[in-house]
Amino acid sequence: MNSASQPLLTLENITKRFKDLTAVNGINLEVSPGEKLVIIGPSGSGKSTLLRSINLLEEIDEGTIRFEGREVGYVMRHGKRHADRPQAISALRAEIGMVFQHFHLFPHMTVLGNVMEGPLTVQCKPADEARSIADGMLAKVGLSDKRDVFPATLSGGQKQRVAIARALAMHPKMMLFDEPTSALDPELVGEVFDAIHTLADEGMTMIIVTHHMGFARELADRVIFMDGGNFLAEGTPEELFSKGQDNERIRSFLNRLL
């Protein structure tokens, strides 16, 4: 398989349990370079756990994660699987950026300091280079005028755009968005979706978990419906939002949101 046709991300039998609850149940998935994949489904269906497992924030119980064809996240020692070295996990997180429901900005740092932090501390870039990268990413999300203020002075939408800029400062090859607008007032949702649209237009590979069906319909190359830790259906937005209505579980979910 040549690099052009090789999936950027491959999940094989990914399973994550919390005691008696199987949150992610044997998931298989391939994500192609440049693909915009949207995962929808009810709360508690395993969507966020799956994203956190890809980013190695949750340790999976079974399965294999491959990124650019190489197995990542875990190593075998004495016949048992263990999480990889912290340095290796940090390196992977630089390549797979993640934006959360809540912004997780450092309140004691300026906006510029927040975006510089990854290049400085993880990638060990010189301060001038990290500052230049951060300025560029803040310009990309339309927040150059906020570079010297602290997060407490920002709106929720602005905070989320800073979080996106912070992830982008690591120059990731893929972005994961976990309900990036769920904590925002409705009038602030659009500015965050605009920033994500810009990335999509630039060819960024992304997986997005969202309850905004209009955004999913507009942006996605492929939509997956997840419930009970399983993928129940997938297809283009047109296929899922029309043919999915034949499935009672999907129909009842969509009818509540559309």
Residue-wise pLDDT for 85-108, tens only, equals 998 998 899 899 999 888 889 999
Domain count, the chain: 1
| 3 within domain boundaries | no
Examine the pLDDT at 4 and tell me if it is beyond 80.
no
Cβ neighbours for 143, distance < 8 A, ≥ 6 positions apart: 111, 158, 161, 162, 165
Give the pLDDT band (50/70/90) at residue 2.
very low
| 2 within domain boundaries | no
| 4 within domain boundaries | no
CATH of the domain at 253: 3.40.50.300
| 74 within domain boundaries | yes
| 207 within domain boundaries | yes
Q: What is the pLDDT of residue 190?
A: 87
User: Residue 92: which domain range?
Assistant: 9-257
Chain mean pLDDT for the chain: 91
Contact 209, 51 (CB under 8 A): yes
| 1 within domain boundaries | no
Mean predicted confidence (pLDDT) in 252-258:
78
Give the pLDDT band (50/70/90) at residue 246.
confident
Mean predicted confidence (pLDDT) in 111-115:
97
Nearest-5° Cα angle at 97, 93 to 99: 125
User: Model confidence over 116-153: pLDDT tens digits?
Assistant: 999 999 889 999 999 999 999 999 999 999 999 999 99
Contact 77, 133 (CB under 8 A): no
Gap between the Cα atoms of 173 and 150, Å rounded: 28
DSSP string for 51-98: HHHHTTSS--SEEEEEETTEE-SEEEETTEEEEPPHHHHHHHHHHEEE
Per DSSP, the three-state class of 212 is: coil
Examine the pLDDT at 6 and tell me if it is beyond 80.
yes
Q: What is the pLDDT of residue 241?
A: 85
| 22 within domain boundaries | yes
Instruction: Quote the distance between the C-alpha of residue 87 and its chain's center.
Output: 20
User: Model confidence over 199-234: pLDDT tens digits?
Assistant: 999 999 999 999 988 889 999 999 999 999 999 999
Q: Where does residue 38 rank: exposed (0-12), middle (13-18), buried (19+ CB within 10 A)? A: buried
Q: What is the pLDDT of residue 107?
A: 94
Examine the pLDDT at 81 and tell me if it is beyond 90.
no
Cβ neighbours for 177, distance < 8 A, ≥ 6 positions apart: 98, 99, 196, 206, 207, 208, 209, 210
As beta bridge partners, residue 37 has 207, 222
Mean predicted confidence (pLDDT) in 145-163:
94
| 214 within domain boundaries | yes
What six digits make up the tokens of 249? 């579980």
